[in-house]
Structure 1
Amino acid sequence: MIMTIAAALLGGMAAGYLFMDVSDKDMLDFILMTALDIMVFIAGIEIGSNRGILKRVCNWHSAVLALSIPAAVAVGSIGGAALIGMAVGLSFYDAVLVGSGLGWYSFSSVVISAMYSTEIGTVSFLANMLRELSAFFLIPVLVRLHKLLALAPSGAATMDSGLPVVIKYTNLHVGMYSFINGLVLTLIVPVLLSWLLSLK
């Protein structure tokens, strides 16, 4: 699957360079969202059709785990961004802002650009977009250490674009946690960014 994803990415880059321009953006957005909706729908069918999975996550232990995972991912994302950001010359505040996107590049970059800095908004877009792309290649490696590590690289994207990849390399049980992880992180991002931006 890694080779297929890499080939698709390179093929798309070549097609974009040779045949597309800025005027095609709306069409590409439509195709992207349609394909994403289909992927998530199919993943949902897989999870929903396995009633044993739903029973396994409907207990206190699973509920605690389901909330602990996004909390750990959020802390790790922000802490990692702060360390790397300062190492490359960003201020602690700017680095934390970038990390607070938690993989949701389309939202965080717009909010940061509009309310704080276009430059940091651009950094947020690139960092979180590259995070999502690199997740496709990191997930197959990380699952060898522990299946739940598959939920860290994509961040908020584990509920959409990252979900099929997580299920492919783990199982439907982890896929359920993947969806919950992405959902919780997606809900956290607007609150976290609003709070951080209010401090400046």
Structure 2
Amino acid sequence: MFSGMLFIFAPLCVGYLIAVSNQNYLNKINSATSNLIYVILALMGLSLAALDNLGDNLQVLTSYTLTFFVCLGVCNLLVLPLVDKLLPLETETHQNNIPMLGMVMESVKLVGVVGGGLIFGLISGFDLSWVDTASEWILFVLLFFIGIQLRNSGLTLKQILLNKHGMIIAALMIVSSMVGGAIAAWFLDIDLYKGLAMASGFGWYSLAGILMGDALGPIFGGASFMIELLRELVALVLIPLFIRTKPCTVIGYAGATAMDFTLPVIQTTGGVRCVPIAIVSGFILSLLVPVLMLFFVSLAA
């Protein structure tokens, strides 16, 4: 039952064991990771094009996306304010300009890659039977690089354990997401473990979509990608609006992206005190995305 999970999880573990001190090598790894994500997202589009009854499947994809997005978001936002109430955090006021448009356009570009793969697959008439195998092997390499990135993110175990806000935020995100995933699975009448796997993306749209697509097919992969991408886009709007009054809430809602993509917005609008919290909570959630997602997929019927 766990053989598929171990096959995917092994390169992540091996990568995490590798410490890289040369910044040039790390830059090359980061660049390769970004390029591989674009390749796999394009292959995801091709997988969607290869589906029978595409129109009906796209309707199912939309239904899954909206149901999970609403259930997860509501559950997250119901509990995260508890951190702000019980452990209030003082933020700083900043007036710096935020390159919001550039961040939004980066997300739009990723959607465009999936859409481009879908359109090409529909009009090309090529045999697409090779797509799933290619995706699996590229994913294997990608997870190896991601493991290296996590190991060399600069955080020590001591720094993580000493950051109370970050750990509590991550714990609440995990628990509330599992509840939201179970509710969404009930609404959609799908296997509970599939619902929990879908709930384990925590904002890491590229990896979540890729893992779910590889394990459960392009419908689940596409829905997972869109759920987490919508989370990031909403977080980009919520952070500047609420970080001065509910900093832990918006940092938590950003999920795994709080340690990378949304971090500049958090730092600019909330100040330096928010940065360690965002990095620690984002790191924990990032580390657990493949662990939880692959675990629940292995249990799914």
- Fold in common (TM above 0.5): yes
Q: 1:22-76, CA deviations, whole angstroms, 9 ceiling, x for partnerless residues?
A: 7xxxxxxxxxxxxxxxxxxxxx9xxxxxxxxxxxx9697x433332221112222
Counterpart in the other structure of 2:264: 164
Asked whether the 8 Å contact 1:5–1:136 carries over to 2, the reply is: yes
Q: What is the CA distance between 1:8 and its match in structure 2?
A: 6.6
Tell me, in whole angstroms, the C-alpha distance in 1 between the residues paired with 2:197 and 2:160: 35
Unaligned runs of 5+ in 2: 1-95, 118-152
Tell me, in whole angstroms, the C-alpha distance in 1 between the residues paired with 2:280 and 2:237: 22
Q: What is the CA distance between 1:159 and its match in structure 2?
A: 0.6
Q: What is the CA distance between 1:145 and its match in structure 2?
A: 3.4
Counterpart in the other structure of 2:298: 198
> What amino acid is aligned across from residue 267 of structure 2 in structure 1?
I
SS of residue matched to 1:176: helix
Tell me, in whole angstroms, the C-alpha distance in 1 between the residues paired with 2:286 and 2:271: 22
Q: What is the CA distance between 1:177 and its match in structure 2?
A: 0.9
Tell me, in whole angstroms, the C-alpha distance in 1 between the residues paired with 2:209 and 2:284: 19
Which gives a bigger RCO, structure 1 or 2 (Cα 8 Å, sep 6+)?
Answer: 2
* Paired positions, count: 162
Q: 1:131-188, CA deviations, whole angstroms, 9 ceiling, x for partnerless residues?
A: 1111100112332432211212221011101101111221211111101111111111
Q: What is the CA distance between 1:199 and its match in structure 2?
A: 0.7
Q: Kindly tell me: are residues 145 and 77 of structure 1, through their superposed partners in 2, closer, same or farther at Cα, counting changes over 3 Å? A: farther
Q: Kindly tell me: are residues 112 and 58 of structure 1, through their superposed partners in 2, closer, same or farther at Cα, counting changes over 3 Å? A: closer
Q: What is the CA distance between 1:125 and its match in structure 2?
A: 0.5
Q: What is the CA distance between 1:100 and its match in structure 2?
A: 0.5
**Does residue 96 in structure 1 map to residue 96 in structure 2?**
no
Tell me, in whole angstroms, the C-alpha distance in 2 between the residues paired with 1:187 and 1:11: 23
Counterpart in the other structure of 1:49: none
Tell me, in whole angstroms, the C-alpha distance in 1 between the residues paired with 2:199 and 2:256: 12
Which structure carries more helix by proportion?
1
Asked whether the 8 Å contact 2:193–2:299 carries over to 1, the reply is: no
Runs of 4+ aligned residues of structure 1 deviating over 6 Å after TM superposition are: 57-60
The percentage of counterpart residues that share the same residue type is: 25
Question: Which one has a bigger Cα radius of gyration?
Answer: 2
Unaligned runs of 5+ in 1: 23-43, 45-56
Q: Kindly tell me: are residues 140 and 81 of structure 1, through their superposed partners in 2, closer, same or farther at Cα, counting changes over 3 Å? A: farther
Counterpart in the other structure of 2:68: none
Tell me, in whole angstroms, the C-alpha distance in 1 between the residues paired with 2:102 and 2:270: 22
Match of residue 65, structure 1, among 154, 158, 165: 165
**133-142 or 119-128, larger mean C-alpha shift:** 133-142
TM-score, normalised with respect to structure 2? 0.46
Tell me, in whole angstroms, the C-alpha distance in 2 between the residues paired with 1:63 and 1:103: 21
Asked whether the 8 Å contact 1:139–1:153 carries over to 2, the reply is: no
Tell me, in whole angstroms, the C-alpha distance in 2 between the residues paired with 1:96 and 1:171: 34
> What amino acid is aligned across from residue 96 of structure 1 in structure 2?
L
RMSD, matched Cα: 3.4
TM-score, normalised with respect to structure 1? 0.67
Counterpart in the other structure of 1:30: none
**Does residue 112 in structure 1 map to residue 207 in structure 2?**
no
**136-145 or 101-110, larger mean C-alpha shift:** 136-145
